[in-house]
A = this chain, B = another copy of it.
Amino acid sequence: METIIKHFDKYLPLDDKEKEALISRLTERKIKRKQYILQEGDTCKYFTYVVKGCFKMYGVDNSGAEHNLTFAAEDEWIADIDSLHKEKASKLFIEAIETSTILQVSKGNLWYLYNKYPKFDRNFRVIIEDKYIELQNRLLQTFSTTAYERYECFLEQYPNLSNRLPNTQIASYLGITPEFLSKIRNQRSLK
């Protein structure tokens, strides 16, 4: 629980009442590797904070291929916000890549926190803004660069993830096959 308190110190730090309110509304869970915390068709019920471990959020296309939208490792939040907010069936999966420990806030509890302590509005505004910026940069890259460049950029931006994740997962994030990623890595090693 300490890690999530420290997490908020990066934004507007919480006072004692806010800390208590937050902690009393969080549920800790252990999630095994390959276990889902959200499956396509279900409604996303929680905003999830990763204490330890790593998750991927992905969609599956008509031909069955997975496309990773994002990863979340230590000290990051993950949810299908579309499904959570609008209480509709999700098109996405959130799956543990490693055995993980998480803290979850239900939608109801999150709304309670928002209404009672406006600081949570602020902090989550900033958290979402950062996620928005990330997506925007990624979309621009997808349009305007080759897989080679996107891979280089991924390495720079997520040096720790790139060591930790299997290449299949990185390939899916970049929008290419693992075989092609292997070619890119080979090309890079020749330079």
Does A178 interact with chain B (Cβ within 8 Å)?
Answer: no
| Inter-chain contact B125/A82, CB cutoff 8 Å | no
Contacts of A67 in B (CB 8 A): 140, 143-144
- Other-chain residue from B61, B85, B129, B138 in contact with A139 (beta carbon distance below 8 A): B138
Does A186 interact with chain B (Cβ within 8 Å)?
Answer: no
| Inter-chain contact A69/B128, CB cutoff 8 Å | no
Q: Mark A121-153, 1 if CB is under 8 A from B, else 0.
A: 110110011011101111110111100000000
Q: Given that A59-B140, A67-B143, A135-B139 are known contacts, is A121 also in contact with B125, CB under 8 Å in the complex? A: yes
Does A165 interact with chain B (Cβ within 8 Å)?
Answer: no
Q: Is the interface of A mostly helix, strand, loop or mixed?
A: helix
Does A118 interact with chain B (Cβ within 8 Å)?
Answer: yes
Instruction: Provide the bound-state CA to CA distance between A114 and B69, in Å.
Output: 30
Does A19 interact with chain B (Cβ within 8 Å)?
Answer: no
Contacts of A145 in B (CB 8 A): 61
Residues of chain A at the chain B interface (Cβ within 8 Å) = 59, 61-62, 65, 67, 69, 81-82, 85, 91-92, 114, 118-119, 121-122, 124-125, 128-129, 131-133, 135-140, 142-145, 175
